[in-house]
Structure 1
Amino acid sequence: MTEKLWRVGTTYIPVIDVKASADWYVSKLGAELNYHDQDKAIINLADQSLFLVKAKEGQTSNFIDVKGQVRFSLTFEVDGQSALESMHHDFINKGIKVGEIENRGHVGRNFVFEDLDGNKFDVWSELSPTFRKKQVK
């Protein structure tokens, strides 16, 4: 194989109410709304396109790991522990459901938050070295 996958361009997230979810991502996370109809909304967040897709009630992007824990499928990165702590505090003030800041035994710290539909997302205090080299001046 001579070709390679370059980047993740789009992530699909199941939601019950497309408009309410789009409004939540815009107001709570600072996403940019690019398109909206009754079945989906397309937003830009963290240099990625997210499709909020109307789904049946109870559907989420979460999965259950081998130990029976409900897990997230997407981790966002911030630049350092102070940025992580600031975002954690900001999310709490915005009424977002967040977990505690955790030490998972690797570099950096993390916390988990949920959207309106219970989709879980992780936030990590470390930018990937490749991203830092390309994007952060």
Structure 2
Amino acid sequence: MNEKLIRVGTTYLPVTNVELSAEWYVNKLGAELNYKDNDKAILNLASQSIFLVKSRENQNSNFYDFYGNEQFSITFEVNGLDALESIHKDFIEKEIKSGDIENRGHAGKNFVFYDIDGNKFDVWSELSPIFKEKFILG
């Protein structure tokens, strides 16, 4: 087999209320709603498809590392530190639960934020070189 995985096409996120969560993603993050029923919503966000799937209470996509730290499963990228600071300010103004901008010892800076179901996400100030090459500079 010489084929390779090319990209992540869809991410599935657990939510307790599909209607409220879909509205939150559209209004707070600017997602585009493509489909919605009682069990799921399909959104376009950050160049991929996000499925919000109705789940039981107290479930989210987070996990705990070996040291007991809650981790996120998705990092969104923005184009530079100015963009990171701008979106962080926007999230705070929209009352999105967000952490401080931090330096984690690698290129760029990050901050975390949460949706209304407690799904934790990361935002990084650096676009991947392949994305820049194919979609911004290329």
TM (norm. structure 2) is: 0.98
CA RMSD of superposed structures (Å): 0.5
Unpaired stretches in structure 1, ≥5 consecutive residues: none
Cα distance, 1:66 vs. partner? 0.7
In 1, Cα distance between the equivalents of 2:56 and 2:84? 33
Q: Distance in 1 between matches of 2:3 and 2:79?
A: 31
2:6 maps to 6
Count of residue pairs the alignment pairs up: 137
Query: Whole-Å Cα distance in 2 between the matches of residues 23 and 29 of structure 1?
Result: 10
Identity percentage of aligned residues: 68
**Aligned match of 2:94:** 94
Letter in 2 for 1:123: V
Structure 1 residue 34 displacement after superposition: 0.1
Give the Cα–Cα distance (whole angstroms) in 1 for the partners of residues 59 and 49 of structure 2: 20
Report what 1:123 is aligned to: 123
Amino acid at match of 1:68: G
Q: C-alpha deviations, 1:23-66, integer Å up to 9, x for none? A: 00000000000000000000000000000000000110000001
Q: Which amino acid aligns with 1:27?
A: N
SS of equivalent residue, structure 1 residue 99 = coil
Q: Which stretches in structure 2 are left out of the alignment for 5+ residues?
A: none
Once the two structures are superposed, residues 61-113 of structure 1 have per-residue CA deviations (whole angstroms, 9 ceiling, x without a partner) of 00000110111000000000000000000000000000000100000000000
Secondary structure, counterpart of 1:111 in structure 2: strand
Moved over 4 A (4+): none
- Paired with 2:20 and 2:79, the residues of 1 have a C-alpha distance of 29
Aligned position for 1:52: 52
Which residue in the other structure is 1:36 paired with?
36
SS in 2 for 1:97: coil
Q: Report the AA paired with residue 103 of structure 1.
A: N
For 2:116, what is the secondary structure of its paired residue? Answer: coil
- Counterpart for residue 65 of structure 1: 65
